[in-house]
Amino acid sequence: MRRSLVVLLLLSSAGCAGFPQSGQDVPAPSSAEEKPNILQRQIVAAQERSARLEVQTNQLANQVKTLGNVVRELQGQQSRMEEQIEKLRREMMAAKPMPPSPPAPPSPLAPRPPAAGGGTPPSGPSRLASLPPEDAYNLAYRAVRQRQSREAVSLFQEFLRRHPTNPLVANARYWLGESHYDLSEYTPALEAFEKVLGLHPSSRKVPDAIYMRGLTFLRLKKPREAALEFEKLIERFPRHPLTERAKRQLRTLNLSGNNVQR
């Protein structure tokens, strides 16, 4: 009996060894088989990301192109507004003349200058002959304020001939330049502004003369020379109110395609 039990136990053990153990019925794939699948999925995902990035890049490029066109249009509008603002600025400056000296009482017996060829006395420079320098300057200045640029040119030229050493000479040269500018006489305007810079380097009109030289060069289609004047103003007078306008003018020149960078 004991021998039979031993035999049965041995046969039972041998039978169990012939069946697969739990968890071992499906062989696990080897790492060599799994790696190609992982790499394939990574390649597909990378290609999808690349395609999305390309679409986004094209969209951004189109947006940048559109924005560039908008910016150029806005810069053109800004340039036109700058000209209008500049005219208003000159009018406001002209509306604040230096206080005139008390005029001499008119003499009823003082003879009037004879007109050429007889007749009524001429207007313009001849009116300065009997005036003190300050009154002569203010008379010319009034012509600027009233936008009578041709008369202002004549009056300031006469003032400079009659009073070449007067303290108001620097201002007179500057307003002479602005009057020429308003008449589109850009070459004499540049000459007048240059004399302000060369003959009156400590005048308070120096920053204005530099800025106006820049605007005048723009009118003459010389963007490089204009940029040099605006840069000069920015470097020499960084806190002057016109400096911000000079910076905007430089940005406009750069955005309009003019290579004015030093």
**Residues 6 or more apart whose Cβ sits within 8 Å of residue 254:** 260, 261
Cβ-contact 144, 94 below 8 angstroms: yes
Q: Which residues of 189-203 are buried (b: 16+ CB within 10 A; e: fewer)?
A: bbebbebbbeebeeb
Task: Please check whether residues 241 and 157 belong to one and the same domain.
Answer: yes
Report pLDDT digits (tens) over 41-93. 888 888 888 888 888 888 888 887 777 666 566 655 665 566 666 666 665 65
Residue 116 lies in a domain: no
Task: Locate 240 and state its tokens.
Answer: 């002057």
pTM: predicted TM-score of the whole model, two decimal places: 0.58
* Domain count of the fold of the chain: 2
Task: Locate 5 and state its tokens.
Answer: 């039990």
Structural domain of 139? 131-253
Cβ-contact 163, 133 below 8 angstroms: yes
Residue 10 lies in a domain: no
Give the whole-angstrom CA distance, residue 20 versus residue 37.
29
Cβ-contact 173, 196 below 8 angstroms: yes
Task: Please check whether residues 136 and 232 belong to one and the same domain.
Answer: yes
Report pLDDT digits (tens) over 96-148. 544 444 443 343 333 344 433 333 344 444 678 889 999 999 999 999 999 99
Whichever domain contains 175, its CATH number is: 1.25.40.10
Task: Please check whether residues 157 and 243 belong to one and the same domain.
Answer: yes
